[in-house]
Amino acid sequence: MHFSRLLIVTLLITGFNTVTPAYSQTAGTLAWTYDTGELVYATASQNASGRVFIGSESGVLHALDITTSSASQAWTFATGDWIDSSASIYGNTVYVGSWDSNLYAINANTGAQEWAFETGSLIIGSPAVGADGTAYIGSSDGVFYAVRSNGSEKWQYNVGSEIDSSPAIGDNGNIYFGSYDGVFHAVSTAGQPKWTYTVDTVDGLESRIASSPALDYQGNIYFGAGNGYFYCLSPDGALNWSFQTAEEIDSSPVFDESGNVYFASRDGYLYSLDPNGVENWRALVGDVFYSSAAVDEAGNLYIAAYVGDGITAIYSFTPNGELIWDYELPSVTDSSIVITNDGLLLIGAEDGNLYAIHTGTGPGTTAWPKFGLDAGNTANTYTNPVTPDDPLYYFSTGAETAGGWYYVPGVGFLNTSFFPWCFHETMDWFYAGAGGSGEYWLWHLSLEDWVWTTETDFPNLFSVNQDAWIAYFVGDNSEQLYWVSTTDEWIIIQ
């Protein structure tokens, strides 16, 4: 589809006033470009010190130190194939996927490799990062992986279909992502399925989900699909509403402060919907494939769209859909827009350049103002390092070994393969209940009793039924022996 430079906006609201934001005179003008040497489909990320990270089809991740007038290379890191994945940041570590099937962890200061985790096929999506540094990433092999901050596999979840969608972590600890078979998934941080939602089948369109989800303050999940529908699901997987466009939706949504959601469809329109799925307005902007919009701190919206003749237009709109300015890039782009604290709009292009354009304002602070949520592309709204369905929530000082076994100091080896049911190396089955750091509530299956202990008190257990401390021993024939201090008697379990 070829679009002229005429912009058409269809307003479905009445009585609005013209908004004139306080932009600097440089808004909508080029600040600088940086040549990566190959096509750029990835989206830039930025760490707390302001360093920017961007990958390209050369397979190289570039680290840049930027100002409002220049960008200088700090280091480069070469992978074995293309980088479509956008880098995500955890502390001083950069996570990025590659078409060589690996997820890499790279030191943000030096560019040195910390580790590489190999999946079964190429990685296109971008990792979400938990508060404990766990990276969550899907692969084209149809498997969704959780990888610890040390590079070891925490778990994998097989969906049987290619995963290009970048995941998001909800404030309930669930991880959300879509797959190419049209199924949207919610998985716990322990790798257990919570629910799935299958999108509608539409004649002439695919049902794939390549769009990456965004979450509002209530935990509702928003994403587009190849069938042309845009969906809003509740945290428990129920459909709140859907909105139909004429073509595929592969780009990802963003929100303004009022909860209005913005997304682009391949039908050429940028859409604004209110929180109930009612259309506010639409603007005919051009071809938008995977590039996602961004919202700034003033509530204004930015979107990139191909308009023909090798030109991509960058548009800036008010929340009411009025055009503020536009800028022409001499290339096609699928990269999503990032706005830095210095007021720069960053976007990559197929000519190999990362472009920086002045906006005169800073990044948005809404529920989900950009692809990947924040500057580090963590896509994480859950701040607790572990969740109640993760063994580490209970065994906080434990270290996982092979086959689901944890070694907990003072307690011994526990198998958590059927968590929250656990098998102690000598004490048999118990159910893990809520505890604190180094303390445990356990439903003891053999005793049919809740017991409490800590790493320093074990093998002494406080029994709820006995209302007393009991001491645990292993008998000569491996039977369980419990000495009840208040009654001076043994409980023997063969």
> What structural domains does the chain harbor?
8-13+26-358 (2.130.10.10), 391-493 (no CATH)
pLDDT, position 398: 61
Question: Over the stretch 48-90, which tens digit does the pLDDT of each residue have?
Answer: 999 999 999 999 999 999 999 999 999 999 999 999 999 999 9
Distances (CA, A) of 372 to 84, 110, 155, 437: 14, 24, 22, 31
What value does the mean pLDDT take over residues 363-372?
95
Assess whether pLDDT exceeds 50 at residue 270: yes
Tokens standing for 309? 């003749």
Neighbours of 430 (CB within 10 A): 23
User: Taking residues 350-369, what's their average pLDDT?
Assistant: 95
Given a contact cutoff of 8 angstroms between Cβ atoms, the answer to whether 143 and 120 are in contact is: yes
Average pLDDT of span 22-30: 70
Alpha-carbon distance 360 to 342, whole Å? 8
Cα distance between residue 2 and residue 412, in whole Å: 67
Q: How far is CA 368 from CA 179, 247, 256, 260, in A?
A: 21, 24, 8, 11
Q: How far is CA 50 from the centre of its chain?
A: 21
Give Cβ neighbours of residue 204 (< 8 Å, ≥ 6 apart): none
Q: How far apart are CA 58 and CA 54, in angstroms?
A: 11
Tell me how crowded residue 168 is: count the other CB atoms within 10 A of its CB. 27
> Are the C-beta atoms of residues 82 and 57 closer than 8 Å to each other?
yes
CA distances from 338 to 333, 345, 373 (A): 13, 6, 10
Instruction: Summarize pLDDT for 203-262 with one digit per residue, the tens.
Output: 989 999 999 999 999 999 999 999 999 999 999 999 999 999 999 999 999 999 999 999
* pLDDT bucket at 12, cuts 50 / 70 / 90: very low
377: which 2 tokens? 């592309």
Rounded Cα distance, 336 and 44, in Å: 8
DSSP state string for 190-253: TS-EEEEEEPPP-TTS-----SPPEE-TT--EEEE-TTSEEEEE-TTS-EEEEEE-SS---S--
pLDDT grade for 19, boundaries at 50, 70 and 90: very low
Q: Is the pTM of this model over 0.85?
A: no
Cβ proximity of 108 and 47 under 8 Å: yes
**The two three-digit tokens of residue 302, written as one number:** 């930015």
Distance of alpha carbon 3 from alpha carbon 305, whole angstroms = 10
Distance CA 52, CA 3 (A): 32
DSSP reduced 3-state for 104: strand
436 residue type, one letter: G
The pLDDT score that the predictor gives to residue 488 is 80
CA distance 490 to 487: 9
The CB density around residue 359, as the number of other CB atoms within 10 Å, is: 32
H and E: helices and strands count for the chain: 1, 44
Whole-angstrom CA distances from 53 to 60, 413, 421 are 10, 41, 42
Instruction: Say how many CA atoms lie within 13 Å of 188 toward its Cβ.
Output: 14
pLDDT reported for residue 449? 82
pLDDT of residue 437 exceeding 60: no
| Residue 11 pLDDT | 43
Under DSSP, is residue 341 helix (H, G, I), strand (E, B) or coil? Answer: coil
Residue 8, pLDDT > 60, answer no
Which residue's entry shows tokens 């149809």?
142
Helix (H, G, I), strand (E, B) or coil at 260: coil
- The whole-number pLDDT of residue 21 equals 37
Both structure tokens of 87: 């880098």
For the CA atoms of 67, 71, 76, 82, the dihedral, rounded to the nearest 10 degrees, stands at 110
Q: If we measure between CA atoms, which residue out of 210, 264, 232, 254 comes closest to residue 371?
A: 254
| pLDDT above 90: percentage of residues in the chain | 66
Rounded to the nearest 5 degrees, what angle is found at the Cα of 146, between the Cα atoms of 144 and 151? 130
Burial of 302 (0-12, 13-18, 19+ CB in 10 A): buried
